[in-house]
A and B are shown apart, each in its own frame.
Chain A
Amino acid sequence: MTATVETAARAGVEVRLENLQRRYGAVTALNDFSLTLAPGELVALLGPSGCGKTTALRLLAGLEEADGGRVVIGGQDVTGLPANKRDVGMVFQSYSLFPHMVAWENVAFGLQMRKVGPAERKRRALEVLDLVGLAPVAYRYAVQMSGGQQQRVALARALAIQPKVLLLDEPLSALDAKVRSRLRDEIRRVQLEVGITTLFVTHDQEEALAIADRVGVMNAGHIEQLGPPTEVYTRPASPFVAEFVGLTNRLPGTVSRGEVDVRGARLPLVHSDAAEGNAVALVRPEAVAMTSEGDIGDGPLVGTVIAVAFLGATSRVTVDLGDITVLAQLPTSEAAANPAGTRVKLVLRKDPVLIARDETGTADA
């Protein structure tokens, strides 16, 4: 595809955000924020509302000015450049197509700003629309398109100008689940095909884990952890990351000799230097197995199933241990064998676990 070839020729520059500071009055949105995107890489910034992820993206786009720090795109310091001089393509959270233009005119707008001739910009606009599979709606206005189609046109519009960087500001959050999943895959396919360096901002962990080469989990204006999705999920760097990314059981225990004792089960620690004493172990639901066969008797890990939530291939089982409830994620066939009311014994898989501060304040962080 011609558009792909043309775009790929300019794609893949390194992007550096260095020590960015941004304050809104007394509120610090970004605090010494640094991030480097390798050429052609897709990095997802993940975090709760107000953590500063959108601010970081807007500083990179030039839509806001930093109070301090530098933005470097492809070796060029663009910190002082306005948005229209930065050569970045952006897809917004809300539908941002120009309502008075049809799809191809929207896509051609950026090319017109770059003084591309009328015939050439129409040809290129139609090519990029074809890239995102929307050639058939090229002559439709935004109001005549679905939300998913509008966002794909917005993606095509951002790519048509062959930007150095592609910025995606929660582009899927206004869409329904099915369209969101399909468009997510579409974005990744196009990004890989074009090879453009991309920053993707989202508060949806599933989205971030599914699409990104690396995920940066943000909290209070800085990155808590930056790494491949599997690493962020399986080896969270902090209790915040562990609890924000995926579901986590908070199980009271005692740390001693580099392990944590949770109701009789000894589990290895992610950070073996954790201080000894009372602690809360963060255990993933998928690290919890159960059995109801034979004489399970009594014990600290024996309890009663109180709810089974069907999720498709897997089910989430809630078990009441008396003083606490524990979530276990099991294959649906296995969960079906233990309906609500069944007495079960939990088995904790010996995955390394993270320690959070005890509610009583006696454990390490």
Chain B
Amino acid sequence: MAAVSRSRRAKLQVFRVVTFVVLGIFFLGPIWSMFEFSTRGVGENAARTLDSWKAIGTYPDLVAGIIASLELAAITSIGILVVLVPTMVWVRLRLPKLRRAIESISLLPLTIPAIVLVVGFSPMYRWMGINLSDSILTLSFAYAILVLPYAYRSLDAGLAAIDVKTLSEAARSLGAGWFTVMWRVIVPNISSALLNAGLLSVALVLGEYTIANNLLYPNLQVEIVTVARSNAGVSIAVAVASLLFAFVLLVALSFVGGRRRQSPKATERLVQTYARDFSGGTR
């Protein structure tokens, strides 16, 4: 019996390693190819060079695009969490009958292609440009809608893993006001969900092209495409850098999240949620 169990464990281990290696090649292969391309010298048998990487700073529009995208990622992530967390908690506590409706509305952007969203956004942004501001940072409104389904799913899984009602009532009976309940009780217990929602938002914003390009805002992806027309090497270098940045961010957040205590139930639900969302290949 023990031998059979050992054999099964060994097979499972081999399966894990093979899966890890195959997927690693699948993900890292293209990145390596991009890095290889961005470090090619000019001419046959030319030595490797980091000229394309060094040249990134010489494209002011590209640098501005990078900064704008990072700002947009930060504003969108924080904004969506500030709006969504209290709303979802409130709906769970006071308006549970509205939960399905809120969920449907939140998931709606998944079903609408980005180019269709642009058609809707255009008149709004035209009006905003004239009456409020034409700053690229106003794109964060559009991005908030774009990341809404992913943030909602992530937070919903986190909230489902804790007894929001009992915890908030316990805190209330101990003298806590609603802000304290939210900040001291709910938020620390859904920190993994918050991190995941934030990460998804950052990744999505850093990779967004369609809306920015069609609304004529030069974010990172738009600038990469623009630079690619004159210098493919620099364009690819920036693309690799942004991918590595997202990767490093993911690893950093997973380490931070891993140190926090999370129930198996929460992890399971989150995995199920992502599996459901991404298997649909919605965006």
Contacts and interface: CB of A to CB of B under 8 A. Distances in A.
Interface string A106-141: 000110011000000000000000000000000001
Nearest to B173: A90
A84 B173 contact: yes
A31 B162 CA distance: 33
B261 A96 contact: no
Interface string B175-201: 111001000110011000000000000
Contacts of B172: 62-63, 82-84
A163 to B, nearest CB: 8
A161 B261 contact: no
A157 interface: yes
B1 interface: no
Interface string A40-61: 0000000000000000000001
B169 A83 contact: yes
Contacts of A310: none
A143 B174 contact: no
Interface string B144-164: 000000000000000000110
Contacts of A92: 166, 169-170
Contact of A113 (B163, B180, B189, B261): B180
A158 B166 CA distance: 14
Interface in B246-283: 261, 263
Contacts of B167: 96, 98
B171 A63 contact: no
A96 B163 contact: yes
A84 B184 CA distance: 15
A125 to B, nearest CB: 12
Main secondary structure of the interface of A (DSSP, over half): mixed
Contacts of A109: 171, 174, 176, 184
A141 B169 contact: no
Interface residues of B, number: 20
Given A94-B163, A113-B176, A99 B171 contact: no
A302 to B, nearest CB: 55
Interface of B: 162-163, 166-167, 169-177, 180, 184-185, 188-189, 261, 263
Contact of B171 (A85, A98, A100): A98
A214 to B, nearest CB: 24
Contacts of A84: 172-177
B163 A110 contact: no
Taking residues whose C-beta sits less than 8 angstroms from the other chain, chain A's interface range is: 20 to 34
B188 A89 contact: no
A202 to B, nearest CB: 17
A82 B177 CA distance: 9
A62 B169 CA distance: 10
A99 B261 contact: yes
Ranked 3 nearest A-B pairs via Cβ: A110-B174, A113-B175, A96-B170
Given A84-B176, A84-B177, A113-B175, A100 B170 contact: no
A154 B173 CA distance: 12
Contacts of A83: 169, 172-173
A96 to B, nearest CB: 4
Interface of A: 61-63, 82-86, 88-90, 92, 94, 96, 98-100, 109-110, 113-114, 141, 143, 154, 157-158, 161, 167
Nearest to B191: A100
B161 to A, nearest CB: 10
Nearest to A141: B261
B180 A98 contact: no
B174 to A, nearest CB: 4
A109 B184 CA distance: 10
A94 B189 CA distance: 17
A126 B261 CA distance: 24
B174 A161 contact: yes
Contacts of B173: 61-63, 83-84, 86, 88-90, 158, 167
Given A83-B169, A92-B170, A94-B163, A100 B189 contact: yes
Contacts of A96: 163, 166-167, 169-170
Contacts of B174: 84, 89, 109-110, 113, 157-158, 161
Contacts of B170: 90, 92, 96, 98, 154, 157
A99 B174 CA distance: 16
Given A84-B176, A141-B261, A94 B166 contact: yes
Given A61-B173, A99-B162, A161-B174, 5 more contacts: A86-B173, A99-B261, A100-B188, A100-B261, A157-B170
A259 B169 CA distance: 52
A72 B180 CA distance: 27
A86 B172 CA distance: 10
Nearest to B162: A99
Nearest to A90: B173
